[in-house]
Structure formats: C-alpha cells, structure tokens
A = this chain, B = another copy of it.
Amino acid sequence: MYAFPSHKAVSITTSDETPPSDIPHLLVLRPLSDAWLSALNAKFTLISPSSPLSASVHAALISGAYNRVDPALLDQYPSLRCLVNTGAGVNHINFEECKRRGVQVANVGETHSRNVADYAVGLLIDVMRRITMSDRYVRNGLWVTQGNYPLGSKLGGKRVGIVGLGSIGSAIAKRLEAFGCKISYLSTKPKPTVSYRYIPNICDMAAESDILVVSCSLTKETHHIVNKKVLQALGKEGIIINIGRGANIDEPELVRCLVQGEIKGAGLDVFECEPNIPKESIELENVVLTPHQSVFTPEAMAEVIQICIANFEAFFAGKPLITPVVAD
C-alpha cells in the first residue's frame, strides 16, 4: 500500500567525527527528501549506514521500499532497539526476530489508512460509474459523434467484501457505509468491535459479494489470496479493487478474466511487477490503472515526518512509542 514517491534521494551529509553526545543518533536506512532531511536534522544527528557509528546506533528510520528487516540486517546493527517504518505495509519486517532481540517497531498509524481508504473508494466509484473511461470517451470527441456512454452501476445496496479489515479496511468500510453498501469482511478472526458480517472463507465471501476490495498486507498466507477460484466465485458481474499489494492477486488470472469478461471490471493501484503492468491490461476498457499512489499526498508526507519524529523522541525519552505496530 506504500511506495515512496520518486524524488531526488539526498545523500546524508553526516560527519563521521563524533557528534555532540546530547543529540540522539538516528540511523537512516532510506533516502530522504529535503523536507525529511531538514526536519530530522533539527532533532537528531543522522548516521548513514556507511558510518562506523552505525553499529552502535539505537534507533533507525526504515522503509519497505528500501529495507528488509531480517536477521542479516539486525545482525549488522546489533544495537538497534527501535525501528520506525515510514510506510503502511509491514510485510518487509520479521516481527518475531525483532521481538526476540527486543527491537520495538512503530509505523505511521492512521495517516496512511485514511489516504488509502479515500483512494480505494475513489477507485471503486470510478470503476462502477465509469468516470475514467468516460473522460477518455469525451476527450476523444465521441460524446458528440456517438451519443451517451454506456451506463455504470449504482453503488447503493451493493455487497462489498473487504479482504483484510485492518486500519485501512476499517476506514474503507466506514466510508462505504455512507453510500449504503452492505459490508462483509475476511480476516484471520472475527473482530468483536465491528457489526459487519464476518465470512471466514474468501471463496464464500466472493460468491456473496458484488465487489471485492483487497486491503490486506502481503504475507505468505495472502500471496495470491485472490486466485482463479475466487475470481470465478465473484463472477461476471463482479468488480475487484486492489490497494493492497499486487501479489495479493494472481495477476495473469485476473487479466485473463477481465479480457474474457469473466469478471466485470477492476480498479488496480498495485501490480505484481511495478512499475510494469500486464500488457493486455492497457487495452482494457473496464479497468482503471494507477501507479501505486493510494497512500501518498503532500499533506500526509508532512504528517508522517511529524509522527516519525514523535516516535523517536518518545523512544529516546524512555517512553512508549506513539504508534507502535500491533501484531495482528
């Protein structure tokens, strides 16, 4: 659900000389934009991975787009006790290993969830009501020569199955309720705090849904969780929205279904081999294809920087992290 937007990766211009001891050291394991750099520099002494000081630093800024938090990385920086992850997805982090070594992990809380949920609903309305398709139609001059565009479907009353009711899935559900959709969800276990219908089997959920929204993280269990059987269960009138990870869906099978009309349409912000998308999908009329951008807005970037700093400040003050990752 998160890829850091392209920007000039600014190299960290830290000194390798011993910095003043009263400013906490922060290991930076991802590229930083100017906004990041100036905000972090104001609070911390930034240490690059190539610095000899890196082996003794207690806290690090990480990102799933650049880092895999596994025993090899943790061995390399044995003093680490706090990781703050700038993304929404956490599939790059080995939590068991972190726990075993006493490494706390935070991510950026609800900031990403709301952005991703807004985007998921936007993609869904777009596909259902054919906004992107009809914009193309109008720009190509076809409204004048061929009349109205074929109608899209009504959102109200539709059965939406949400694959993964974490903070993103929950935010999507909350929004879709305002449109009169009927929500059900798939999760590792039922959530006692929600009133939506829990369906423990994804094929059952697909069969009883008009729309599937994929909003789970990518794990061994959720790799290709939407496969041929699920797509068949969803059926010819079904629509899929994916703002999770590309590999949550068997992509070649999805494309085949879309080409052959075995499902009705899709809104895809993520793909298995980004930035490459399946060639056949480019010609499809019933699909909206966007470049993994559901999570990020300029407003969110400012918020994310502040949340990361607040987590590090809490850590260095010996207090609990502000937005710890709660293992599901």
Contact in complex: A151, B297 (CB < 8 Å) = yes
Q: Within 8 Å CB of A299, what residues of B?
A: 153-154, 157
Copies in the complex: 2
Contact in complex: A5, B118 (CB < 8 Å) = no
Q: Within 8 Å CB of A135, what residues of B?
A: 132, 288-290
Give CA–CA (A144, B289) in the complex, Å: 13
Q: A94-123 CB contact bits vs B (8 Å, 1 = yes)?
A: 000000000000000000001100110111
Chain A positions 204-239 with a Cβ under 8 Å from a chain B Cβ:
none
Give CA–CA (A154, B131) in the complex, Å: 20
**A300: min CB distance to chain B, Å:** 6
**A276: min CB distance to chain B, Å:** 6
One of B129, B148, B149 near A119 (C-beta < 8 A):
B129
On A, residues with C-beta under 8 Å from B are: 3, 5-6, 114-115, 118-119, 121-123, 125-126, 128-132, 134-139, 143-144, 147-149, 151-157, 174-175, 177-180, 274-277, 282, 288-294, 296-300
CB pairs A–B below 8 angstroms (6 shown): A6-B148, A122-B122, A129-B293, A134-B290, A148-B293, A157-B299
